[in-house]
Amino acid sequence: MTNLFYHSLRGSLLLAILCCIHFAAFSQTALKGTVTDPLGNPLEGVTVSNQTQGHVTKTDEQGGFSVQAKVSDVISFSSIGYQSHKLTLENLASVRISLDPSGEDLEEVVVLGYGSIKKSNLTGSVSRLDKRVLETGVRSNPASALAGTIPGLRVQQTSGRPGSVPNIVLRGGTTYGGGGSPLVIVDGLIRSGFSDINQDDIESIDVLKDASATAIYGARASNGVVLITTKRGKDGVSNISLKSKIGVNSLNIPFEFLDAEDYLYWSRKGVQTSGMYQPNQLNQLTSVGPFGTGNKYKDDQGNILDGNKVSNAVWSTMFLDDSNRELLEQGYQTMIDPVTGKELIYKDFDYTDYALRKNALTQDYNLAVQGGNDKSKYYASLGKYYEQGVPIGTNYDRLTFILNGDYKIKPWITSNSGLNFANTKWRDAINGEGNYMTRALGAPPTMRGYNANGDLLVGRDWQDGNPAVNNDRFIRNNQNQKFTMSQAFVIDLYEGLSLRTSGNWFINQTNNESFNRDYLASPGNWVRTRNSSASYDKTLNQTYNAVLNYKNTFGEKHNFDAMAGWEFFDSYNTGFSASGSGAPSDDFMDLGLTSTEANRRGIDSYHVRNRITSFFGRLNYDYDERYLMTLTLRRDGYSNLLNNRWGTFPGVSLGWNLHNEDFFANIMGADQVINTLKLRASYGANGNIGSIGAYTLQGTYGTSKYDGNVGYGMTSLSIPNLKWESLITKEVGLETRLLNRLDLSVSYYHRTTSDKIATLLLPASAGFTSITTNNGDMQNQGVEIDLNYQAVRANDFTLSFNWNTAYNENKILKLPYNGVENNRQNGFQVYNPSTMELKWVGGLQEGQDPNVAYAYEALGIIRNQQDLDNYALQLKDLIGARTLVHPDVFNAMTASEKSLHYPLALGDVMWRDVNKDGIINSYDRVYMGNTVPRWTGGFGLYSTYKDFSLSARFDYALGYVAYDGPRAWFLGMMQGTFNTTTEVLDTYTPENTNAKYPTYYWADQLFKNNTSRESSMFYNKGNYLAFREISLAYRLPRSFANKIKMEDLSVSVTGQNLQYWTANTLFSAESGSIGQGGGGYPLPRTVIFGLQLTF
């Protein structure tokens, strides 16, 4: 009985304990929620602490968290730069916490070279990209995300080709042409650019601008530095994220081209008008061609001709007769010939249906895993990016992988490791994107298109014709692999003293293969040479450094942060190329199968090595976070230089945090309005080695081959005394925050570049065309403004605006003495309107902007006889193939004299005779403006409403001129038979005397040069405003996401490159076109649909 009692009691107690445990477990569950800033943006890395029970976690990338808790527990939320928040739980419903800034971003950390610093203590000029920009849209190159976001940094996107590289210039550049790209450093390793970086792997992008900030990188940082930090694991954060974006790209051009009927009308009228003065040109009206009537549908025996065999069966334009009347049943049309009055038959054929994709797809997929604890952290991701080009057969395909890991081996030693791999494949248009697009859009719309058997016709030839015919005949395999590996150890030697040693390896290799199968080059002309080529290029960069850091505070107010280091950089580049022809069949592209006959094969190889050894140091000091100072010094030795290998680059910057002064709060309550106020000033030096190659200074020999024999000859001169470019930058700035809502930064900089490295042309007697030399001094100066305003900060609704702008101007200060005015190099002479004497302009001259444009000034169009008499009676136009004179003067000439002249006529352009000497010549060109923007910048807005978020970005460039070469090219019928734009409808005719443009002539560049000479008629303000992006996202309720085992689920739709507002009609509004011809590959308009899942 007793045993039974004890057994029963034991069972009851066990049951009671289990019930207690059950109810305890039931009452203690997880609190989930989201932490955001006042604008509704998720805050990552916020420490969420259950102060009652001691459980701690951190928010993930979407601001989400989950922490063990029960009712009545006290939960705290804290993050650097934000005010802490505490919450006593009344229930366990999901919470949304908004953390207010701590009055200033004092604790925000800014990345510098070989270290970091609190933003409040920063004395140099450094800008950080808003991370939200990288979270929207799709980009083959993350550099495009910088457009309009960083004051003073111009990102010029001139091509829509997949994988294209934007032109990036900071503060006007350091070259005479306004160029010079910043140094790009990814996780401490110098990279050649952004193209292999997945934007979803980027944690932050900081841009170092002034010399005090960039001096730590010495000789390679003259154009500024872009520091990219990739994501790493975080303590207390563990999640899996999957992102998917699909975009549709459509062609976005400022032109509309003529249909076949209008094309025939204007082309034939253009030839007829030109033929009034050049009768031999009238033959084109009856010859074989897009608008000629010499084309045939059938031969004399009534057989239908094959347009891929004979050229007179390519085009559809003919006079209507019984031999071709049956074509009306096949979709052909008719019109009255404006020249003869006869009936024409033709077919309207749109090349773009075959040459261009109407909707090209972009796909971007990313899978990321991150996690960590107090001992180890990791981040890994796999990315796939694929973009179709608008031209058929073109694409860009990239696979990326990254693995970053941090491991605390011992309490005093930590390992930081990184692996990054990118594999890229691409296929470009055969004859270049710009050329391809121009020819596809401007192709004559009167090709027959198909043979009677349904085969596509090649057209005039393989370049100007239908690319779909030969698309599979040209094999192009392009591939690039980039592999980066880094390993660092941080050793804590003593309190405040640590040593960081690292090794970084970067391998960049490119393979290109090309093979031409037998292809139809033009009707009846098959090319069977089967050309084959291959090239391989490999670069191995190794960087080793050791950096000693010491950080300490003395007397509670004297804060020191010192660093000293050594670095060794080694770059080895090798490669080869080979070519051959005469492969036995279309099935084999191996070079070994090409013909062994003389001059049918070629091979070349190269090996290049350069090294840089550096010593550097930096001291950051502040007194009570009020008075700030940074001293920087670097010394570089560069193997590519000979007698001047070593350069020393110091930098110093000072700052004053006025808001930390005791007197500040007493100035009429200034601290209530002005939350922060910092003044700063800096001075520093950089060097620049330009494009100096490993053998540039030594003098080089080259080989040439003739009839199988190889010869050697000197190809460049030795330049042993060439030295570094020296850049001195001075800057002052102000940074402030007002009312905890408005952040404002203003900077003024002045940069002088001395001993510029440039190419100098030599006289023919020298035996060499040019020499690289230290060639003068140049100045850049400007102002930058950056403003961010938080307009609304409500619980359910936030709205903020940002705006930045920068003004820059360049001027040549000094050139080597050469005995001419202003030590001018190149240039040309024009009349000075004030003195009527000749003066030299253009080229390079002391005291002048190196980027200026001069052109002829169009006064208007000759609209009536009075205009003609007033303008041309006593005037000669010497520009062009023949002299232009008044028709009365022309009619009085002998036949031999007429052969050297053309008569001016109604519809021609009146040009300004600057010195009124009755002659239009090259001296009559006038100033149009500068060709590099004076002002650049951007603005945008960010808004949230509950779980919706909206962002929009715009960027602009102002204060320069751009030449619309494509428009002049089309309106001058300069390609002879190509199509033109609908602007031809506004050219002068007897029925349209108030037209905007002159008479439409065939081949104007061979005739009167109305449109082909560079003139004010086609120079417009280059100013543009780009609607770069708008994005709308919706984050589904977390409760719904949790039900399907997710932490977060969001969807988005984004539009990119939506619109340019500009006076120019260039193919790309951001490009400046100097000279004739050309079009380009405009940026496509893109609509993107996104989905993001987090587990």
456-500 pLDDT per residue, tens: 898 888 888 888 888 888 889 999 999 999 999 999 999 999 999
CA distance 62 to 45: 10
Nearest CA to 1065 out of 972, 983, 944 is that of 983
Assigned domain for 374 exists: no
pLDDT band (50, 70, 90) for residue 1079: low
Given this model, what pLDDT does residue 15 score?
36
State mean pLDDT over 449-454.
87
Measured CA to CA in angstroms, residue 845 lies from 450, 736, 745, 821 at distances of 58, 41, 35, 8
CA distance 564 to 578: 47
- Phi/psi for 597 (5° steps) reads -65, 155
Given this model, what pLDDT does residue 76 score?
86
Q: DSSP class of residue 894?
A: -
Assigned domain for 859 exists: yes
Given this model, what pLDDT does residue 861 score?
96
Given this model, what pLDDT does residue 1077 score?
44
**626 Cβ partners below 8 Å, 6+ apart?**
656, 657, 660, 661
Given 600, 628, 656, the domain boundary residue is 628
94 with 113, same domain? no
pLDDT band (50, 70, 90) for residue 679: very high
490 with 574, same domain? yes
Given this model, what pLDDT does residue 27 score?
42
Name the pairing type of β-strands 95-98 and 29-36.
parallel
Question: Residue 980 in contact with residue 442, Cβ under 8 Å?
Answer: yes
The HSE-up count of residue 581 (CA atoms within 13 Å, CB side) is 11
Measured CA to CA in angstroms, residue 710 lies from 591, 597, 767 at distances of 21, 16, 21
3-state SS track over 401-469: EEEEEEEEEECCEEEEEEEEEEEEEEECCCCCHHHHHHHHHCCCCCECCECCCCCECCCCCCCCCCCCC
Given this model, what pLDDT does residue 4 score?
38
173 with 40, same domain? no
Given this model, what pLDDT does residue 298 score?
92
Lowest mean pLDDT among 35-39, 436-440, 648-652, 1087-1091: 35-39
pLDDT(40) > 80: no
Given this model, what pLDDT does residue 104 score?
43
* pLDDT digits 0-9 by tens, 115-143: 888 888 888 889 999 888 988 888 888 88
Given this model, what pLDDT does residue 518 score?
92
Which pair of tokens denotes residue 315? 């085009």
126 with 38, same domain? no
Q: Helix H segments across 329-403?
A: 352-355
Nearest CA to 1070 out of 981, 1061, 1018, 780 is that of 1061
CA distance 169 to 185: 16
Given 628, 659, 686, the domain boundary residue is 628
pLDDT(68) > 50: yes
Name the pairing type of β-strands 1019-1021 and 1024-1035.
unpaired
DSSP 3-state assignment of 702?
strand
Question: Residue 365 in contact with residue 243, Cβ under 8 Å?
Answer: yes
Given this model, what pLDDT does residue 25 score?
37
* pLDDT digits 0-9 by tens, 1007-1043: 889 998 999 999 999 999 999 999 999 988 877 878 7
Question: Taking the alpha carbons of 233, 239, 240, 244 in that order, is the dihedral positive or negative?
Answer: negative
Given this model, what pLDDT does residue 26 score?
38
pLDDT band (50, 70, 90) for residue 707: low
Assigned domain for 681 exists: no
Nearest CA to 625 out of 670, 561, 681 is that of 561
CA distance 604 to 587: 25
CA distance 772 to 1051: 55
* pLDDT digits 0-9 by tens, 184-200: 999 988 888 888 899 99
118 with 224, same domain? yes
Nearest CA to 953 out of 143, 138, 133 is that of 133
Strand partners, 66: 32
Q: What percent of the chain has pLDDT over 90?
A: 49
Longest dimension (CA), the chain: 147
For residue 129, the domain's CATH number is 2.170.130.10
Assigned domain for 199 exists: yes
Lowest mean pLDDT among 11-25, 50-64, 207-221, 696-710: 11-25
Given this model, what pLDDT does residue 306 score?
93
Q: Where are the beta strands (DSSP E) in 913-972?
A: 919-920, 926-930, 935-945, 948-958, 961-963
117 with 223, same domain? yes
Nearest CA to 447 out of 309, 314, 353, 324 is that of 314
CA distance 15 to 919: 114
Given 98, 124, 141, the domain boundary residue is 98
CA distance 543 to 594: 42
Given this model, what pLDDT does residue 1076 score?
42
CA distance 836 to 368: 70
Measured CA to CA in angstroms, residue 200 lies from 128, 229, 419, 678, 927 at distances of 17, 12, 16, 34, 47
* pLDDT digits 0-9 by tens, 504-541: 999 999 999 999 999 999 999 999 999 999 999 999 99
State mean pLDDT over 940-961.
94
Question: Residue 768 in contact with residue 716, Cβ under 8 Å?
Answer: yes
- Phi/psi for 168 (5° steps) reads -115, 125
DSSP 3-state assignment of 668?
coil
pLDDT(204) > 70: yes
Give the burial string for 818-828 (b: 16+ CB within 10 Å, else e): eeeebbbbebe
Q: How many other C-beta atoms lie within 10 A of the C-beta of residue 157?
A: 23
Given this model, what pLDDT does residue 98 score?
83
Q: What percent of the chain has pLDDT over 70?
A: 94
pLDDT(777) > 70: yes
116 with 226, same domain? yes
Which pair of tokens denotes residue 713? 């000859």
Given this model, what pLDDT does residue 517 score?
92
Given this model, what pLDDT does residue 277 score?
79
Mean pLDDT rounded to a whole number for the chain: 87
Question: Residue 743 in contact with residue 734, Cβ under 8 Å?
Answer: no
Q: Where are the beta strands (DSSP E) in 658-724?
A: 674-688, 700-706, 709-716
Given this model, what pLDDT does residue 24 score?
38
198 with 132, same domain? yes
Given this model, what pLDDT does residue 80 score?
64
* pLDDT digits 0-9 by tens, 1049-1078: 899 999 999 999 998 878 888 886 544 445
175 with 93, same domain? no
pLDDT(371) > 50: yes
Query: Position 15: which residue type?
Result: L
Class of residue 473 by CB neighbours under 10 A (exposed 0-12, middle 13-18, buried 19+): middle
**279 Cβ partners below 8 Å, 6+ apart?**
none
Assigned domain for 590 exists: yes
pLDDT band (50, 70, 90) for residue 992: very high
Domain around 174: 109-234
CA angle 765, 768, 773 (to 5 degrees): 110
Assigned domain for 10 exists: no
State mean pLDDT over 660-689.
84
**329 Cβ partners below 8 Å, 6+ apart?**
none
pLDDT(820) > 80: yes
CA distance 493 to 495: 7
Measured CA to CA in angstroms, residue 315 lies from 124, 283, 377 at distances of 66, 16, 68
* pLDDT digits 0-9 by tens, 716-760: 778 788 888 888 999 999 999 998 899 999 999 999 988 887 777
Nearest CA to 196 out of 446, 506, 468, 582 is that of 506
Assigned domain for 212 exists: yes
pLDDT band (50, 70, 90) for residue 559: very high
CA distance 193 to 142: 10
Assigned domain for 1016 exists: no
Give the burial string for 842-874 (b: 16+ CB within 10 Å, else e): bbbbbebbbbbbbbbbbeebbeeeebbeebbee
50 with 117, same domain? no
pLDDT band (50, 70, 90) for residue 110: confident
If one counts the domains in the chain, the total is 4
The region that residue 827 occupies, defined by phi over 0 for left and psi between -120 and 50 for alpha, beta otherwise, is left
Given this model, what pLDDT does residue 341 score?
95
45 with 92, same domain? yes
Q: What is the end-to-end Cα distance of the chain in Å, rounded?
A: 57
pLDDT(218) > 90: no
Measured CA to CA in angstroms, residue 712 lies from 319, 700, 704, 715, 717 at distances of 61, 10, 6, 9, 15
pLDDT(708) > 70: no
121 with 174, same domain? yes
Question: Residue 620 in contact with residue 116, Cβ under 8 Å?
Answer: no
Q: DSSP class of residue 80?
A: T
